[in-house]
Every structure is written in C-alpha cells, then in structure tokens.
Amino acid sequence: MSNDIEANGHERQAGDIMDNLTAPNLSDWPDPVEWVNPSGRSPVILLCEHASNHIPACYNGLGLGPADLDRHIAWDIGAAAVTRRLSALLDAPALLGTYSRLLIDLNRPPEGEGSIVAWSEGTPIPANDGLDAVERALRQARIFTPYQNAIGALIDAQVAAGSPAILVAIHSFNPVFLGHARPWHAGILFGRAAALGERLVARLAADASLHIGVNQPYSVSRQEDYAILVHGDDRGIPAVLIEIRNDELADDAQIDAWARRLAAILAPEAAAP
C-alpha cells in the first residue's frame, strides 16, 4: 500500500510539473537559454551555464531556504554579470542558463552523478534525494537539452558560414571550499585547447598582482564537465573554461574590471586569422 501511495505521489508531482512545462507564457518557466547579443560578430562564443539560481515555485526551493539558494551551490555568483559585460566589450554572442544548477547542471553529463545532486558542499538537497527517472528525464528535456542544442546550432551556423569559433565558458568559485582556502584569483581550465589556454594564462599572469591557476581550482574531466569537451574538444573547436573567485566579483566595479581583463586577453584570439 505505501509503495502505491509513493508511486502515485510521484505521478502527481510529475503531472503537476508537466502542466507547468506545457503552459504558455508562464514566467516561472523561462526559456532555458537567455541570449545576449546573438548577432555578435566576434568568433568568441560565451557560455554561462550557472548564470541563474531560479527554481520554479512548484519545486518549493527543492526543500532549501532563500539563504542556501543564494549560495554557490545554486549558481555561480557574479558570473552572469561578467558574461553580459564581456559580451558587450567583445561584441560576442552569449548563452546564459536560466535555471539553478540544483535542478540540473548544464555543465555535467546528464547520465553522471553530478547532473542532479542530492548533496552539495555538505548541504543536503531534499527534493533531489531519490529522484525518479521520470523527473530526471523531464528536467533534462526541459532545461539541459535545449541549452546544449542552442550551443550546437550557433557553432553549426558559424562553421557553415566559414567563420572561426572559440568557445569560452565563464564560471566563478568560492574562496574557501570545505575549509580549504583557494589562493587563485582566477583559473583557466582546458582539455585539448592547451595552446589557447596557456596563451590566456600568460596574458593574465602578466599582472603580477594576480595569482592565476592552470586547470585550477578544478580539472577538466568527462565526469565533471560538458560544454568545452562536447561542443569544443570533440568538434575541434578551441574551448576553455574561465573560473573567477567570487569574492573578486562583489560589486559592479570588480565585475567591470574582470570583464575588461578577460576582454583584453581574448581580443588577440578574436582578431587572429
């Protein structure tokens, strides 16, 4: 009996969410891609997968309170603002995610453990614990797949036009992770695009006041990364992920300063034949 009740509960939950998904013009369910400057002329394509901490009301915050949803576990603090400013400086198209990474992570393979987490940085995510296959598939279809398709379509269009493409994902990270301080002001992460990554590192590191990590504070792997591998390395498109420590993005002045730093290191790549 209890199993039947539990199963029926899951069915009702999935049905309620599906109603929300298919309802027209529902502001609580924005398009999964926010386009910024889609006709930008730069070969640089900017991504910001963790731009938003939005969770539709039907999920009741996944069981978390507002304070937790403002933390890094729900989004990359400051990354969206840097991406928008950088898009303007470079005249580059940008694709920003519009849902919290806690619903489904746009930068994790959907079949992996990191796609929809039940714990993040020591915090339980109650509504993600024991999630059934129906709800997982629903989030993938509604949020993950359209975002990835949009990236692929933009790259296809540039390739078809004979234009070069450079993929740059913008992220941010906490200065302290599970009690361990992170000394880097920013890091450049890459897989096969080592030449591009090392040029960007060298340009940033020319400022002696900055401590720049190479594949830090994270390393690139098939288990923990998606876009720069699938849309970049696998297609022969130069691709890097830029991480900025989020205490460096505390106000508009810092955000503008980092956008200008990144524009300066990316401009030579955009101008290269």
Q: What is the 3-state secondary structure (H, E, C) of 151-220?
A: HHHHHHHHHHCCCCCEEEEEEEECCEECCEECCCCEEEEECCCHHHHHHHHHHHHCCCCCCEEECCCCCC
* Residue 176 C-alpha from the chain's centroid: 20
Per-residue confidence (pLDDT) for residue 62, from 0 to 100: 98
CATH 3.40.630.40 fits 29-271, yes or no: yes
The full set of domain ranges for the chain reads: 29-271
Per-residue confidence (pLDDT) for residue 180, from 0 to 100: 86
Rounded to whole angstroms, the Cα distance separating 193 from 270 reads 15
> Does the global pTM surpass 0.75?
yes
Per-residue confidence (pLDDT) for residue 26, from 0 to 100: 64
Q: Running along the chain, 273 residues long, what does each successive block of 10 average in pLDDT?
A: 37 45 64 97 97 97 97 98 98 98 98 95 95 96 98 96 96 91 96 97 97 94 95 97 98 98 97 79
